[in-house]
Homo-oligomer: A and B are copies of this chain.
């Protein structure tokens, strides 16, 4: 009889029904990688192969139980570090999934976070063969309700991309406007007019032109820009500007 934190009454219900649901933290981790076919940036995410039942052998979101002394966000960052070795550029709570039918035997409530990272070479070739990167739109059949969770996380990512200032989390300290536009196009799944895109960013308050240009292309050298705004955070420490849903 694990997990009897409190007393939930002492009627003649079965042992099984009296057990409170257990709590886990999972994290959807997004990064941009070149598409193997087109070469353009696309959204990928790392998954972990399950070694136990239920859903043994299937791929699943990285996650685990909530440590007694860590906050929810710390637990999510721990998932991130454990599977990729990276620190998040952006980390936000996604949703708490708690349907009664999502796990076969013991009921689990999962508080899911989602994160954006900039993967380096080491992170993309993990030593552990039970960790691998998948295209976020088509990750295959996942364990539990994780397909649904990934889909919702993608929806949230697109939402934040349209209404928030989150695209910079995919990029380095400086970037060209074409690179920034490619991030938007990869996430939103449609092409944007370069001229209008430029005009909108000129009116954005927290994007700043540097004096550097990228040399080497067979065309006019593009100027480098820098993002000067703070990394937006959803709930604690600063409200997100809109929509979220």
Interface residue ranges, A against B (CB under 8 Å) = 1-8, 16-24, 26, 48, 50, 52, 60, 62-66, 68-72, 82-83, 93, 95-96, 98-100, 103, 106-109, 111, 152, 155-156, 159-160, 162-164, 234-236, 239-245
Q: Min CB distance, A29 to chain B, in Å?
A: 13
Report yes or no: A60 in contact with B2, Cβ–Cβ below 8 A: yes
In the complex where A6-B106, A242-B245, A243-B242 touch, is A21 in contact with B66 (Cβ < 8 A)?
A: yes
Q: Which residue of B lies closest to A130 (CB)?
A: B2
Report yes or no: B48 in contact with A19, Cβ–Cβ below 8 A: no
> Across the interface, which residues of B come within 8 angstroms of A24, CB to CB?
3, 5
Q: Which residue of B lies closest to A160 (CB)?
A: B245
In the complex where A159-B244, A243-B244, A245-B245 touch, is A5 in contact with B18 (Cβ < 8 A)?
A: no
- Stoichiometry, as copies per complex, reads 2
> Across the interface, which residues of B come within 8 angstroms of A63, CB to CB?
2-3
Most chain B CB within 10 A, of A3, A4, A26, A160, is at: A3
Q: Which of B23, B48, B162 contacts A23 (CB 8 A)?
A: B23
Q: Which residue of B lies closest to A23 (CB)?
A: B23
Report yes or no: B23 in contact with A20, Cβ–Cβ below 8 A: yes
Report yes or no: B1 in contact with A64, Cβ–Cβ below 8 A: yes
Q: Can you list 18 A-B contacts (CB < 8 A)?
A: A3-B24, A3-B26, A3-B63, A4-B65, A5-B20, A5-B22, A20-B65, A21-B23, A66-B98, A72-B96, A72-B98, A96-B111, A99-B236, A155-B239, A163-B243, A240-B245, A241-B245, A242-B245
In the complex where A109-B111, A111-B109, A159-B243 touch, is A22 in contact with B6 (Cβ < 8 A)?
A: yes
Report yes or no: B71 in contact with A5, Cβ–Cβ below 8 A: no
Q: Tell me the complex Cα distance, A18–B69, Å.
A: 9
Q: Tell me the complex Cα distance, A83–B95, Å.
A: 25
Q: Which of B8, B162, B236 contacts A65 (CB 8 A)?
A: B8
Q: Tell me the complex Cα distance, A155–B64, Å.
A: 31
Q: Tell me the complex Cα distance, A20–B152, Å.
A: 27
> Across the interface, which residues of B come within 8 angstroms of A106, CB to CB?
5-6
Q: Tell me the complex Cα distance, A240–B2, Å.
A: 31
> Across the interface, which residues of B come within 8 angstroms of A239, CB to CB?
152, 155, 245
